[in-house]
Structure 1
Amino acid sequence: MTIIVDRPTVTDPCTLVEPGLFDRLVSRIRVDHPELGEVAEPIMEQALAFLATCAANPGADLGPSEQVDVGWHTFILYTRDYAAFCQRTAGRFIHHTPDDVPSGGLGESKTGPGLAATIEAMRAAGYRVDPVVWPDSAADCTSKCHQCYSGCYASPEKAVG
């Protein structure tokens, strides 16, 4: 007896944008964040995978890692390209909603549990999760993830716009 497990095909997030745009975004990360130069490509790949996962999971409590957030911020700077990507991928604009209350000394973070959910959602969507730019455990999330609250769609306050 053979059991077939239905697993999603791994999708290359770089195919979500034109190659020239991807190269420009990676170059921009290298210029604006020279300390991240060696991981600029994985940052941008994972930012695209994250955004596509957000598009497929509206209303989910998904949030980026600190480095993936750098890729997201970089993409937002290219407003026309970013807006076109959002429309094409999500059918709507994917808003970035910052977390006004970063994680505190007690290890509490609004987005901690969301990071583990994000990683799971990305894998379920068929994207590889690169451990270079994502914390490798939920316990690690509370200390590293503090950039955005509910990362991709809208905060619980239902930000509009």
Structure 2
Amino acid sequence: MTTAPVKLRQGRDLVEPELFDRLVDFCAKEYGLERLVAEQVQDQALALLYVMGTTKSGDTMAPSETVDPGWHTFMLHSPEYSQWCHEKFGYYLHHQPNSKVRTKGLMVDVVGRIKGAGFEVDEGLWGTAANCNPPTCCGDGPCC
């Protein structure tokens, strides 16, 4: 007996397509990203936010430096972000920046939690891929 592969969730599916496109356009322009990269960043940020909000782990999870602009982008669309947080979690998920906690170990844990929630993860954006992604590799990879 064979089983069909499970389709992983995508962060982009957590918001309406029109909102996702607006967020991606803003992220691309504001942070100087190619549109395809901005799509990936925004998708990963949404998955992260969902996991953080539904598990109330905002104090133990953090975005990678590469994914963080996706969270900033959503927060800058404050009416939509606030409404989304209240609909999904019942509270406003605050951003408490602390770039000093972006260790490879934390990013691996965050990626594991996102995967555990059934989301597709682009490990290259988290610094957990085989090829390290400075600065999140913190000196323990070949390129740092």
Q: TM-score range by the shorter chain?
A: 0.7 to 0.9
Aligned to 1:10: 8
Query: Which structure's relative contact order is higher, taking Cα pairs within 8 Å and 6+ residues apart?
Result: 1
Cα RMSD after superposing both structures: 2.8
Percent identity over the alignment is: 32
Aligned to 2:17: 19
1:37-95 per-position Cα deviation (integer Å, ceiling 9, x unaligned): 44010101101000011012213611111121000000000001000111111111111
8 Å contact 2:51–2:117 — kept in the other structure? yes
- Whole-Å separation in 1 of the counterparts to 2:40 and 2:122: 7
Unaligned stretches of 5+ residues in structure 1 = 103-108, 147-161
- Whole-Å separation in 2 of the counterparts to 1:27 and 1:142: 25
| TM-score normalised to structure 1 length | 0.71
1:80–1:44 distance in 2 versus 1, CA, 3 Å: same
Unaligned stretches of 5+ residues in structure 2 = 139-144
Aligned to 1:153: none
SS at match of 2:92: coil
The one-letter amino acid paired with 1:90 is: F
After TM superposition, where is structure 1 displaced by more than 4 Å over at least 4 residues in a row? none
Aligned residue pair count: 134
| TM-score normalised to structure 2 length | 0.79
8 Å contact 2:27–2:33 — kept in the other structure? no
Shift of 1:133: 1.6
1:133–1:111 distance in 2 versus 1, CA, 3 Å: closer
Aligned to 2:135: 143
The one-letter amino acid paired with 2:110 is: T
